[in-house]
Structure 1
């Protein structure tokens, strides 16, 4: 998601092709669903649609942990993204987990 937002901000010319690689089949399947209830998936789809107004966007699956440069770079970028301080509302799941933990 951050990658797509970054592309929207930095892509200066039209008619460039953007290929986003993911080793997560679950993510790709979630993006293909028409009836998602996930706000995060909807936000991601909207971001990709905004990007697609300016350039061709493709999302491709690559097998994970194969030792190729794509997945190693994705892992590196994922670790960087995970280390960034998150600002905004907390995910709802955290509240549910906290409530269940407190009840036990």
Structure 2
């Protein structure tokens, strides 16, 4: 374990399992009719009341890093209130980036009260995690707290939006998330358990390969004798010469 590049003093993305009993927001997902839902998305956005605050969020992970971004608008996207990109530690997952974007958007909107706020995300897994009864992820818990805090004083909705379908808000959030992957501003986030598991698995494979190289095939040596390596070479040479 000492050889692994695991941040020993960093917070892990694990917490004591807790019941999700408070939800000061509503959610909308495709349900059993995803095609109909997707076809109605643009109409739903166009029919949003002009005084509604709309927020589009997204997360991204590339070879350059992991980033999150969001844009907040009103007046049917004609007025941009705020937009932001930020970077997460390279070990973070896209799932964490998606939740981070929602969290940061909620935190920016905490000064608003008695407003109708819609947050659009293309991460269905994030919505599912935020509405599940049991949770043991610190990232999910932080996002849930931010949503509940904002929803306590506002009419808050969390809606799913289809990615890469030409919808302006989602495309803009995607741009901001990708921009965040190269940002110098890195937000501290918990280390995901999957990152730790990958390091351990890769180390086990490495040790196994080293053991195999050093000790060789045990049963083969027992059959061919101690000079099995020399015997195998002689066999290979004989096969080549008899072609």
Please, what TM-score do these two structures have when normalized by structure 2? 0.38
Q: Which structure has the highest strand share of the two?
A: 2
Please, what TM-score do these two structures have when normalized by structure 1? 0.80
2:172 corresponding residue in structure 1: 73
- Report the CA distance between 1:61 and its aligned residue: 0.9
2:155 corresponding residue in structure 1: 56
Q: Deviations over 1:48-98 (max 9, x none)?
A: 011112322111111111111022012123223444424254223212211
Q: Which structure has the highest helix share of the two?
A: 1
| Greater Rg over alpha carbons, structure | 2
2:123 corresponding residue in structure 1: 24
1:96 corresponding residue in structure 2: 197
Cα gap change, 1:40/1:76 in structure 2, threshold over 3 Å: closer, same or farther?
same
Contact 1:4/1:47 (<8 A) preserved: yes
| Bigger Cα displacement from structure 2, 59-68 vs 31-40 | 31-40
Gaps of 5+ in 2: 1-99, 206-243
User: Aligned Cα RMSD in Å?
Assistant: 2.1
Aligned residues: 104
Gaps of 5+ in 1: none
